[in-house]
């Protein structure tokens, strides 16, 4: 079964804009990870944030984690057409479960 929900389900923006995706989950976790998937391909690991961390940055990516609200967000700044993909959060509580995902389209 899936761990949680992501919103929005789909997001369409113009190149250069920021994209924010949210993830909510239900149980206690050890860490939360964000992945990207291009259509029909494997997953690419983006960032891991531990349960005792609140914010993490990697290049144009910024992830926040609020364990009290059981939610996380992924911000992609200055988006590019190449960022077009599906983005998933995955909670790690011993096993790894994925949210429903957000389909991001960045228009050139």
Partner 1 sequence: GAVVSQHPSRVICKSGTSVKIECRSLDFQATTMFWYRQFPKQSLMLMATSNEGSKATYEQGVEKDKFLINHASLTLSTLTVASAHPEDSSFYICSARQGAVSTEAFFGQGTRLTVV
- Smallest gap from residue 103 Cβ to partner 1 (A): 8
What track of x and - describes contact with partner 1 for positions 28 through 67 (by CB under 8 A)? --xx-x-x----xxxx-x--x-x-----------------
Judge contact between 75 and 59, C-beta under 8 A: no
- Smallest gap from residue 69 Cβ to partner 1 (A): 21
Cis check for the bond before 88: say yes or no (omega within 30 of 0): no
Site for partner 1 in 63-102 (CB under 8 A): 88, 92-101
Half-sphere exposure of 98 (CA within 13 A, CB side): 12
- 15 vs 26 by CB, closer to partner 1: 26
DSSP conformational letter for 79: -
| Ramachandran angles phi, psi of 92, nearest 5° | -115, 110
- Smallest gap from residue 72 Cβ to partner 1 (A): 15
Q: How far apart are CA 26 and CA 13, in angstroms?
A: 29
Q: Does 24 bind partner 1 (CB under 8 A)?
A: no
Q: How far apart are CA 29 and CA 93, in angstroms?
A: 5
Summarize as ranges the residues that interact with partner 1 (CB under 8 A): 1-2, 30-31, 33, 35, 40-43, 45, 48, 50, 88, 92-101, 103
């Amino acid at each position: 079964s899936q761990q949680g929900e992501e919103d929005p389900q789909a997001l369409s923006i113009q190149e250069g804009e920021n994209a924010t995706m949210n993830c909510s989950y239900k149980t206690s976790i050890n860490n939360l990870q964000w992945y990207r998937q291009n259509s029909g391909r494997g997953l690419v690991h983006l960032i891991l944030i531990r349960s005792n961390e609140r914010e993490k940055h990697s290049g144009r990516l910024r992830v926040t984690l609020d364990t009290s609200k059981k939610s996380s967000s992924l911000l992609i700044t200055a988006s590019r057409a190449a960022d077009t993909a599906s983005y998933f959060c995955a909670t790690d509580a011993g096993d790894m479960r994925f949210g429903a995902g957000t389909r991001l389209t960045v228009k050139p």
